[in-house]
Structure 1
């Protein structure tokens, strides 16, 4: 799917003060009140709140997020219900989302719950196409998970992976916006439904009733809201396989960016977890670097790498904000990132990419040499991409924050200095064995989040030869900042460099495949300094030898440079989270959320083509 720029909606009011769309010639909600309409039509029409009570999770799918009043009304009802489900998922599609300022103004005018509106506005994502997942946790351990799909409803609903308990149909009137009420949309919704799925809408159009019936829904007219005599409710009639419930009890091997993020995400879902790490502390491998660049990687054709790094970057921003809100802030700086072109030819391609994508300036801009130099605070060799919301992250602090939140949950435990020599399955339970052959941990589910060492454990099971997960040595050089010109922002290109941190300026990194040596090499320091000089000719303030320290990490890499996230074949309840390469900071949180959603049977935070592109099965199928 090509990148389609989002055209935001504009807040307009009719003489009665009701939000309207001049583009579609229709109102966003009844003049009698947006919140009351949502409660009558969508909550009551779907048997809520009674149907979510006592449940582990409940999933609402909506067509037409609009100003978010239905979401806020649902969130408020869920929050005020002590018997409500532990996790409420709200999945909604919107082709023309509002910006945060307009939405906040509309919420205030409609009398929406101010605290919930403020939380939504604070985390409102950039208006970019695709999936955007936001999570809002409550003090009692419950959470609301909002998945927004910005773009054409028929496209995104067809690629959504979820099972709906309730459907809200709330587009503009069928005569005004027929695409939202099309057979394609209703068939996509039917694919997300099963025998317990209900729906509700204010529209009783005969064409809508027929299209819903043709898609497999049984519908009936009921009492409408205020001046509207009737509305529609329905239920999906086709029998589907009953939903299964997997045991929420797992071993996670590895306490780097992958394993700690996954533990936090699973703990939020109430899992019993045992985290095993061979080192004496978390973030001792490649996740232990002083700092790394945190930014996406766009492309003119919006390829897989571009789409997955964009999704990871956006979810990562939300994750960083969420961690700070719950008292575990990460050490990072939103100083912006420059991605410099190698030469004039690539500079022209980068400029063309920015023009073609037409993305919001808060996400991506093009800078010529003068502008890039102004951002960096020192001369740059070329112009390049400018990511104003990006920056650097200290990976150990990110691991520590995720681990600290996971540790708040009583069913979580972490053990270090625990080398897992082998794994086996006995009577439906996975067992992790130490070097002495004794069982270290036992659970019905097992996750390999231990970088490239996952290949060893998988081969020990007798079938890991098909997985091309290998190690890449990366040496980072830490330069004494007293000998370096001040730098305002992260700069990437042939390598990367960050502003000074604790008196040292990290730059790198080398990339040497299948080299297990962890010793520092002067030749690789020289390589890193050469890359830096090519990006920033005035990086050094002295011709004298620069004091250099450094660090070597071994990163798990795949042939297509994409992560591997999902179930491993031939074994039930065996999962893999690895292959981040040099992009663990942009992929870690999103991939952990994806795997936690897969393991928990929840709606996925990415569209189906992207989840398929990350699955370990892509390598198994390519060899069959």
Structure 2
């Protein structure tokens, strides 16, 4: 979807209004943004929407029609807080709920935007009139006239991009851009996708919970739920790529940790289809071993093989994707509004106005990204024969994870070894993985042939991704807000996914594609700011000012 979409805001989601908008604007690209302060009965909606409908958990949930012509953003939560977290320009608004401040609503309106209200009293009409809404004779319809039209960014750009790195981050970027008609060149130094951190046999996907519903929790939840819908649209876990939505049993660490989890469960914030707390008896019965402190059951969670996910995403790009594998991109140079990517001999591999670095910690090898605070953390996964330990048909986690058997292998791990660049398999790391797994299963530690894989997670100091335009710290400028941070023209990053790359990749790629196209973002403002690559430069300059 490009920035030519008609953007509609509904302040209290109504299925009939939504379907009417889809019909009324047939042939147009429609972006429908709706607040949902209460659970919605999606049973009356057509099956494509019912199948995507999210559980009633706080946040922005993006859905799309099969043809890509309609995007529905559902904001679940307190409506005033949801409205304040939007940064969009709206063409139409259905005013079913009145915000306490009309200024918040006026901030979102394009000049000439239309308003339709279900009911308005005189005081409400006056409040809207003061913000620039002019009513017709019906007294329920109005047109917004901006006192000073905002300067909106121009997004008339050449839709050609280079993506460096063919792991889950880069592959998702290729798919999300190709879905919008971009021509993409993918550069990868290995002969196949997923040659680095994405090369593990299994990646785990599950949400994160916290007692204060903090920013990392909200970000992971948004990414997890978006990924579930994205993979279903791609063809399905276990169908178009290897894996299974088999569920994840996440055991409490100890009694104190369990008490915190019980408080989260008692809050009622999470419906059981999203997360269900199991007390000792039920958790023990499911695990088949003693689980004295209980566990969470994430029924929609599971595992997938990242390399097969990459292959599915790249295949979905079709003829819009050009693959330049076994090519080492070493330098980036901006010439005549285009980036040129050259190899070690100085030969130009590709050129385009837009470059996306998705090369993990290797991104800092480029001069333009050398200042990013990224580092690599070693993780060794152990591969076991299913006959060597009691297996389960779902993923089990505590301080390590264990996957179900697949093609004669159970994956357990992974170690977390900071400041360690040893890529070889180590007996000590395997012993650590086996001991943690044996403790979960209530069996003695055992010996096994040394087998597995070592990968390196790309981390930022706050353990959150970097998604968006990369900062240019060489440009002196006073910075009070993220928009003040100087950026490299046409240079973007999808970096720092840590141990959740499989979960993060689809939403982060969608986020970047929306930024490039000038579309409404798939995250609330506060969350988008939390993953902006400029946040570290902003912090440094605020401290220095």
**Common fold by TM > 0.5:** yes
The partner residue of 1:596 within 513, 524, 529 is 513
| Deviations 1:353-409 (CA, angstroms, capped at 9, x unpaired) | 222354211111222232122223444464222212211122112111111111x2x
SS in 1 for 2:267: helix
TM alignment of 1:457-606, pairs within 5 A? 457=366, 460-461=367-368, 464-465=370-371, 467-538=372-443, 545-570=447-472, 571-606=488-523
For residue 423 of structure 1, report the CA deviation from its aligned partner. 0.5
Residue 389 in structure 1 maps to residue 300 in structure 2: yes
| Deviations 1:16-40 (CA, angstroms, capped at 9, x unpaired) | xxxxxxxxxxxxxxxxxxxxxxxxx
SS in 2 for 1:474: strand
SS in 1 for 2:235: helix
The partner residue of 1:312 within 223, 238, 252 is 223
Structure 2 spans left out of the alignment, 5+ residues: 473-487
Residue 262 in structure 1 maps to residue 204 in structure 2: no
Aligned CA-pair RMSD: 2.2
* Residue of structure 1 equivalent to 2:342: 433
Are the equivalent residues in 2 in contact too, given 1:381–1:537 (CA < 8 A)?
Answer: no
For the structure 1 residues 196 and 449, does the alpha-carbon distance in structure 2 shift closer, same or farther, using more than 3 Å as the test? farther
Query: Partners of 2:255 and 2:247 in 1: how far apart?
Result: 22
For residue 55 of structure 1, report the CA deviation from its aligned partner. 7.4
The count of aligned residue pairs is: 524
Are the equivalent residues in 1 in contact too, given 2:377–2:417 (CA < 8 A)?
Answer: yes
Query: Partners of 2:54 and 2:460 in 1: how far apart?
Result: 30
For residue 196 of structure 1, report the CA deviation from its aligned partner. 4.2
* Residue of structure 2 equivalent to 1:607: 524
For residue 595 of structure 1, report the CA deviation from its aligned partner. 1.3
The partner residue of 1:190 within 106, 109, 112 is 106
| Deviations 1:269-288 (CA, angstroms, capped at 9, x unpaired) | 12221111111111111111
SS in 2 for 1:252: strand
For residue 204 of structure 1, report the CA deviation from its aligned partner. 5.2
Residue 443 in structure 1 maps to residue 352 in structure 2: yes
The partner residue of 1:245 within 155, 159, 162 is 155
For the structure 1 residues 326 and 237, does the alpha-carbon distance in structure 2 shift closer, same or farther, using more than 3 Å as the test? farther
* Residue of structure 2 equivalent to 1:6: none
For residue 156 of structure 1, report the CA deviation from its aligned partner. 0.7
For residue 258 of structure 1, report the CA deviation from its aligned partner. 0.5
For residue 584 of structure 1, report the CA deviation from its aligned partner. 1.0
* Residue of structure 2 equivalent to 1:58: 6
Higher RCO (CA < 8 A, seq sep 6+): 2
For residue 536 of structure 1, report the CA deviation from its aligned partner. 1.7
Answer with 190-199 or 158-167: which moved more.
Answer: 190-199
* Residue of structure 2 equivalent to 1:158: 84
For the structure 1 residues 94 and 298, does the alpha-carbon distance in structure 2 shift closer, same or farther, using more than 3 Å as the test? same
* Residue of structure 2 equivalent to 1:33: none
Are the equivalent residues in 2 in contact too, given 1:339–1:385 (CA < 8 A)?
Answer: yes
Are the equivalent residues in 1 in contact too, given 2:460–2:496 (CA < 8 A)?
Answer: yes
Answer with 366-375 or 287-296: which moved more.
Answer: 366-375
For residue 205 of structure 1, report the CA deviation from its aligned partner. 3.6
The two structures have a TM-score, normalised by structure 1, of 0.80
SS in 2 for 1:359: coil
Pair member with larger Rg: 1
Query: Partners of 1:245 and 1:499 in 2: how far apart?
Result: 46
Residue 130 in structure 1 maps to residue 83 in structure 2: no
* Residue of structure 1 equivalent to 2:484: none
Query: Partners of 1:492 and 1:219 in 2: how far apart?
Result: 58
The two structures have a TM-score, normalised by structure 2, of 0.91
* Residue of structure 2 equivalent to 1:22: none
SS in 2 for 1:553: strand
For the structure 1 residues 161 and 377, does the alpha-carbon distance in structure 2 shift closer, same or farther, using more than 3 Å as the test? farther
* Residue of structure 1 equivalent to 2:477: none
